[in-house]
């Protein structure tokens, strides 16, 4: 069974794949389009792909479109594993249109959740006040907020939202989740449908956007959203830049609704140099790096191998999104 893997990813998993998935033949894709099996160049006609691994290296190479072309042309591929938690990028719609089912990944949910909690603590404890006091060599004391029994509003509850909720609950916080399905777990205190989002904003100390980009969520955080936002609260967007109306956010910050915004994603990326978000005192800008924890790659590799074992055994891999759903995004 032929499996397409990027040239930089294969050395990390080669031994494990040989032991755990002996019936899978690694077809190693190189950035120049060359295909190799056991180190030897092979022709496309000698390959018949059934599975593929859309790894960090496939995306990071800047050759994802070409890699996707290989998936389509050398198939028919039945299943692929990706590193992404959200599959709203155009490349996934294209792969879905060619009948490829794709498993989402939870590998990045841990660093993203820790990123959110880091900024939540920084905001609550006013770490910048302490840094200024040290820089000025002034002995200043101040009271600060606590995460204990704070109110969290998490919009979207996939792997990322759930990991944020799990960490928030460790501070005995109250967690409200906005999602379409009303399934609760041990990390949620209340589940609300999207139609009730505005009702819960006035009580939320921390608002986390962790939902997919769809027609319904585009510019979800707009003027009306911010008018209902609790003064002094923290907004964190680790989902998609299209969720936030950036002009509306800038106006709302002047009214302290929210008191601060942490943005890892933007409508245009990289964020243009002339964007006022860069220098706004109430905005923290990061370069779409909230998933860049040191354990991300290793977890991603392990997820691919374990799901490949499932596929070979005739079992359904975890977190599969059907080709039909990918080809017809909401």
Q: 199, 216, 255, 269: which one is catalytic? A: 269
Distances (CA, A) of 156 to 176, 197, 208, 279: 10, 11, 9, 29
Tell me the backbone φ, ψ of residue 54, rounded to 5 degrees. -85, 90
| 78 CB-contact burial (10 Å; exposed 0-12 / middle 13-18 / buried 19+) | middle
159 is catalytic: no
Q: Which residues contact 262 (CB under 8 A, 6 or more apart)?
A: 116, 119, 123, 234, 235, 236, 237, 283, 284, 286
Q: What angle do CA 64, 322, 46 make, to 5 degrees?
A: 55
Alpha-carbon radius of gyration of the chain: 22
Compute the distance between CA of residue 235 and CA of residue 299 in angstroms, rounded to an integer.
28
Q: 20, 98, 288, 310: which one is catalytic? A: 288
269 is catalytic: yes
Compute the distance between CA of residue 299 and CA of residue 322 in angstroms, rounded to an integer.
23
Q: 6, 240, 257, 299: which one is catalytic? A: 240
User: What token pair was written down for 271?
Assistant: 């964020």
Q: Which of 22, 83, 30, 24 has the alpha carbon at shortest distance from 50?
A: 24
98 is catalytic: no
Catalytic residues: 240, 269, 288
């Amino acid at each position: 069974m032929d499996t397409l893997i990027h040239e930089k990813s294969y050395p990390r998993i080669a031994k494990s794949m040989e032991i755990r998935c002996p019936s899978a033949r690694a077809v190693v894709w190189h950035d120049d389009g060359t295909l190799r099996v056991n180190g030897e160049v092979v022709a496309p006609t000698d390959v018949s792909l059934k599975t593929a691994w859309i790894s960090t290296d496939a995306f990071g190479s800047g050759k994802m479109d070409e890699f996707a072309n290989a998936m389509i042309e050398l198939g028919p591929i039945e299943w692929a594993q990706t590193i992404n938690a959200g599959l709203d990028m155009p490349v996934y719609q294209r792969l879905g249109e060619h009948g490829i089912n794709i498993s989402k990944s939870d590998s990045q949910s841990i660093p993203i959740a820790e990123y959110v909690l880091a900024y939540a603590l920084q905001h609550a404890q006013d770490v910048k006040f302490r840094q200024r006091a040290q820089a000025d060599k002034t002995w200043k004391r101040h009271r600060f907020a606590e995460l204990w029994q704070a109110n969290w509003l998490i919009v979207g509850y996939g792997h990322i939202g759930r990991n944020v909720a799990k960490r928030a609950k460790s501070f005995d916080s109250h967690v409200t989740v906005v999602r379409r399905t009303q399934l609760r777990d041990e990390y949620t205190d209340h589940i609300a449908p999207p139609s009730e989002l505005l009702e819960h904003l006035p009580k939320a100390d921390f608002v986390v956007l962790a939902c997919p980009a769809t027609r319904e969520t585009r510019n979800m955080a707009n003027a009306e959203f911010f008018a209902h936002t609790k003064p002094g609260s923290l907004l964190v967007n680790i989902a998609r830049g299209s969720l936030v109306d950036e002009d509306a956010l800038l106006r709302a910050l002047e009214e302290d609704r929210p008191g601060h915004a942490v943005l890892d994603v933007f409508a245009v990326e990289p964020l243009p140099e002339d964007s006022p978000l860069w220098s706004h005192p109430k905005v923290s800008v990061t370069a779409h790096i909230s998933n860049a924890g040191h354990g991300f790659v290793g977890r991603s590799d392990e997820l691919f191998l374990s799901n490949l074992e499932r596929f070979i055994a005739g079992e359904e891999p975890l977190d599969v999104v059907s080709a039909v759903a990918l080809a017809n995004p909401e």
